[in-house]
Structure 1
Amino acid sequence: MAEQLWRREALAPYATLPWQSRGRLHAESEDPSRSPFQRDRDRIIHSTAFRRLKHKTQVFVYHEGDHYRTRLTHSLEVAQIARTICRTLHLDEDLGEAVALAHDLGHTPFGHAGEEALHAAMKPFGGFDHNAQTLRILTKLEERYAEFNGLNLTWETLEGAVKHNGPLLKDGRTLEDLPAAIVEYCQDHDLELEGHAGPEAQVAALSDDIAYNNHDIDDGLRAGLFGVADLLDLPLVGEMFALVSKKYPGLGESRLVHEAVRRVINAMVEDVMAETRRRLADAKPKSVVDIRALGRPVVAFSERMVETDRVVKKFLYGRMYEHWHLNRSHSKARRVVMDLFGLLCAEPNCLPPPWRERAEAAERAARARIVADYIAGMTDRYALDEHRRLFDLYN
């Protein structure tokens, strides 16, 4: 009782209030010791898909080094930033954390290169989208509970997972333009695709931007794709490296990088909180319903930080994501995914049970989706091993 009273006092009226949750698709009794959003977070952490993130590419394939970020460590960093922002803004940090931990569950092995390859392979069958795949995992593919498929998360967490980057029905897009998995699920559990998600999901989206910009700088420096001197002309990033160098002359590069990057993260977090407070003061929302009805995000960077973010992303794209070393890895990744997809669609008897039984009984389009689910769930290591087992004639 004391904990519940504290929670009510800690949350702003415009937060997504757990005691006003719209509930789950399959009704369940409430937990006496955890809020609905705490239970969602716990179910995500205990899921098979979450564990697999340990060996899924963020930028570097898992075997290229032990200290580069993976999808798992990235998700944990996003969750940490989201919790901080939510707590400071008096939002529900458990919901923010749940969305942050779930947001990358649908990614394929080998990061965006793997997704591009699987989307190309699935083009005749509706394509592949990692956000839609996240929803499939959360509502269908996880098989843990006796009474339902998926994790049976609350409406609010699923809404955040699907819409954390904004409304899906905007700029003239219709249901026909969306992945079938999202449209089909919303027929039974309407996630209101035309509107913005609640503030906690908006926090998770910007926390993702903050986390990956900064850890990609850290990982890019560690990999030698660029040097500290290359960062000095970047807005905010260069300022922080110069500030740390002046304050601690002669500091070793490892400490210099950490000190500068943590200051960049802090500056971006402070910017989000200041801009969000300004927007809240202008909008004066009385409830989360008012937040969703605003027609624009309430959680946002300032215009200055938006421009800074754009410049940093442009630098990382040119100097890191399109680096020849990474392009070679991406090329291999695409070939692995395309090879696996082609063979397994043509010869579903090579799939392990029960995937084989489902694929052999399915029509062509449904079989392709089953194969896509199988490949998307692979870790980098498993995909490489599976490719070796299927294509190495002497293995």
Structure 2
Amino acid sequence: MRIIYREDQEAREHVVLDPAAMFADKSEGRDRSTEPDILRNDFQRDRDKILHTKSFRRLSHKTQVFLAAEGDHFRTRLTHTLEVAQIARTIARALGLNEDLTEAISLGHDLGHTPFGHTGEEALARSIARHRGMSPDDPRVHLLYQHNVQSLRVVEVIENGGKGLNLTPEVRDGIVNHTGDLRAESMEGRIVATADRIAYVNHDIDDAIRAGILCESDLPASTHRVLGPDHSSRIERLVFDMVSTSADAGEIAMSPAVWDAMMELRRFLFERVYYAPVVVAEVGKATRLIDCLFDYYVSHMDDVPEEYRAISGGDDLRAVTDYIAGMTDRYAKTQFHSLFSPSSIGF
């Protein structure tokens, strides 16, 4: 048995990967130079750095969709992240792209999510707007807090005692450009952006069925015809279509019919799940909790941990935002209960 050193792995990439892949030994390099690792290439090191962060561990106690879900089988931000990594690695391997880079981006893409899912993200943006004197109807409010931008801040600034993780630019680019209409520079980053959609559309359906909000037969018949009759069939169809379409196109893509079916399911989720009474009932509570915590800490900056004040550059709103964004659901509730009457919000 022989040792496969970093140099061996880097050389092997040039043999087995597609020319369109991002090669570890061709990275643009870190902001702060470091000695190469004996066994791991730069993308493997980035993956491991992310895995060992406090922010990554906290994902296990951050909501995906169901804020007050009972039972052990509902997704959290951590299980969502792991499902994204699995789907993205499958696609990257099938296309001959860099699995290590794909995995590193996947594991880091949601580090900036707030407690209470997208509800917390929206509440935090509105709290920032209110303290800046902006109207809540201002179309720029949603730009004040974006989880992908905060994910980048986590790895560049917040972690490692304010020094950041010193990740490669390829990983950072994939993290910040994984959502909406943003487009990562690398093929691997573009895979993660679509794998994220594949994962949440399917597992949110699965969780909604578990919660009794939906049954499989409620899903649009047109999506069953295109994607298949159940959870496993849908993921298999979406992944294979993405692989085959991308291979033919020379770009990360899905066929129009399959993409449209996935987007139809996404719209269906907004109508039937994300705004379902059982979800909406908890949204108001979570929003008030975030509002109360934000107002309190802005007025009591000494209660904000020094580590966040030190990296804020004197911007109190920035320090409070970083602190609350990093909270888990249960820690945010604990802080609320320690500061205010628990009966005032009902959590």
**Fold match by TM threshold 0.5:** yes
| Alignment deviations for residues 44-71 of structure 1 (CA, whole Å, 9 cap, x no partner) | 1111100000000100126533210000
Partner of 2:190 in structure 1? 202
* 1:164 aligns with one of 160, 175, 178: 178
Q: How does 1:87-166 map to 2 (within 5 A)?
A: 87-123=93-129, 125=132, 127-143=144-160, 149-165=163-179
- Per-residue CA deviations over 1:235-268 (Å, capped at 9, x if unaligned) read 1378632xxxxxxxxxxxxxxxxxx211110100
Residue equivalent to 1:179: none
> Aligned pair 1:274/2:223, yes or no?
no
Compute the displacement of 1:233 (Å). 1.6
Q: Percent identity?
A: 41
- 1:358 and 1:198 map into 2 onto residues whose CA distance is 30
Q: Distance in 2 between matches of 1:154 and 1:2?
A: 20
In structure 2, the CA distance between the partners of 1:393 and 1:18, relative to structure 1 (3 Å rule), is: closer
Matched, 1:84 2:37: no
CA distance in 2, matches of 1:384, 1:162: 28
> Cα distance, 1:309 vs. partner?
1.3
Q: Output one character per residue of 1:323-359: Cα deviation in whole Å (capped at 9) or x when no partner.
A: 0110011111100000000011012233344556778
Matches within 5 A, 1:1-395: 2-61=8-67, 64-123=70-129, 125=132, 127-143=144-160, 149-165=163-179, 196-231=184-219, 233-236=221-224, 240-241=228-229, 260-280=230-250, 298-355=251-308, 362=314, 366-392=315-341
Three-state SS of the structure 2 residue aligned to 1:105 is coil
Instruction: Provide the aligned length of Structure 1 versus Structure 2.
Output: 326
Residues 321 and 23 (structure 1), Cα distance of their counterparts in 2 relative to 1, 3 Å cut: same
- Matches of 1:136 and 1:66, distance apart in 2: 31
Contact 2:191 2:252 in 1 (8 A): yes
**Unaligned stretches of 5+ residues in structure 1:** 169-194, 242-259, 281-297
Change (3 A) 1:391 1:10: same
Which moved further from structure 2: 26-35 or 379-388?
Answer: 26-35
Distance 1:229 1:3, change over 3 A: same
Asked if the contact 2:227/2:233 (under 8 Å) is kept, the reply is no
| CA apart distance, 1:206 | 0.7
Q: Contact 1:62/1:380 (CA < 8 Å) preserved in 2?
A: no
Equivalent position amino acid for 2:300 in 1: E
Aligned AA for 1:137? Answer: V
Runs of 5+ unmatched residues, structure 2: 1-6, 133-142
Q: Deviations over 1:7-54 (max 9, x none)?
A: 321111110111100011111111121110000111011111000000
Q: Which whole-Å deviations, capped at 9, do the CAs of 1:178-218 have from their partners, x for residues lacking one?
A: xxxxxxxxxxxxxxxxx742100000011111111110111
Q: Give the whole-Å Cα distance in 2 for the aligned partners of 1:196 and 1:138.
A: 17
SS of 1:8's equivalent in the other structure is helix
SS at structure 2 position matched to 1:236: helix
